[in-house]
Amino acid sequence: MNRIEFLKRKVQELYQAQAPGREEWADWLFANHIFLVSDEAASLAIRFDANAEIAEAAGMLHDIADCVMKRSNPNHEMHTENIATELLTECKFEPSEIETIVTDAMRHHSCYSPQQSPKSLEGKVMATADAVVHLTTDFYDHAVKDKLRNEDSGDVRQWVTAKLPRDLNNKIFFDIIREEVREAHDRLKEKYDSLDWVLEKKSAIL
Ligand SMILES: [Fe+2]
Ligand SMILES: [Fe+2]
C-alpha cells in the first residue's frame, strides 16, 4: 500500500468511527465532499505540474477535526493540524512535505484574504479543488438547507452571498479553471439571488 492509500484508509477510519461530538456535517462531508476534493486536487496537480501526492493529502485532510468536534469549537483548527500532522507522520511523509500540507495548503485553504491564502502550488491546487467541488456538486444546496434549520434566513443568505464569489475569485488560482466553472457559479448565484428565503426556510424546517 502506498502512502496515499494508507492515508485514505486512516481518514476513512476516523470518519467511520462517528465520534459522538463530531461536526453535524461530518457524515455528509465524508460521503459527498472529502474524497471528491482529494481526487480533484490530484487531477488538477497533474494538469498544473504540482506534486499530486501533496495536493491529494491536503484535500483529504482539510478540516479533518470535523470527525471529532464541531466547527464552532475554538480548537477546531489546532486539532485539524495536530491530527493531520500525526497521520502524515504515520504515513511516512517527510517533515518538509508535512509543512507544505499542513501550514500552507490546509491552514489557508479558505482564502479569506491575500495574506491568508496558500503560497505553494500544491496549496493553490487544493484550494482550487475545494472551490470546484463546492460549485459543481450539491454542496451549496445541502449547506443552505441545513443552515436554514438553525439560522436566520437573512444570515444564511449573507453566507451564500459572501461564499459564492470567494469560491470563484479567491479560491480558484487558475484562470482556465475559473472559466470552466463560471457557468455553474452563475447558475447558483441566480438561483440564490431569486430565492424566496422565507418560503425556503419554512420548507427546510418542515
Ligand atoms: Fe474548509
Ligand atoms: Fe471543503
Report DSSP letters for 28-47, one per residue: HHHHHTHHHHHHHHHHHHHH
Question: Which of 9, 194, 38, 4 is closest to 130 using CA atoms?
Answer: 38
Distance 8 CA to ligand 2 centre (A): 16
Strand, coil or helix: 144? helix
The ligand that comes nearest to the alpha carbon of residue 111 is: 1
Instruction: Name the phi and psi angles at 76, rounded to 5.
Output: -55, -45
For the chain, how many structural domains are there in total? 1
Instruction: Please report, as a single letter, which amino acid is at residue 70.
Output: K
Q: How many whole angstroms separate alpha carbon 189 and alpha carbon 183?
A: 10
Distance 16 CA to ligand 1 centre (A): 19
Q: Which domain holds residue 64?
A: 3-205
pLDDT in tens, 173-194: 999 999 999 999 999 999 999 8
CATH number, domain at 197? 1.10.3210.10
Residue pointed to by grid coordinates 479543488: 129
pLDDT in tens, 5-50: 999 999 999 999 999 999 999 999 999 999 999 999 999 999 999 9
Which residues are CB-neighbours of 200 under 8 A, at least 6 positions away? 144, 148, 153
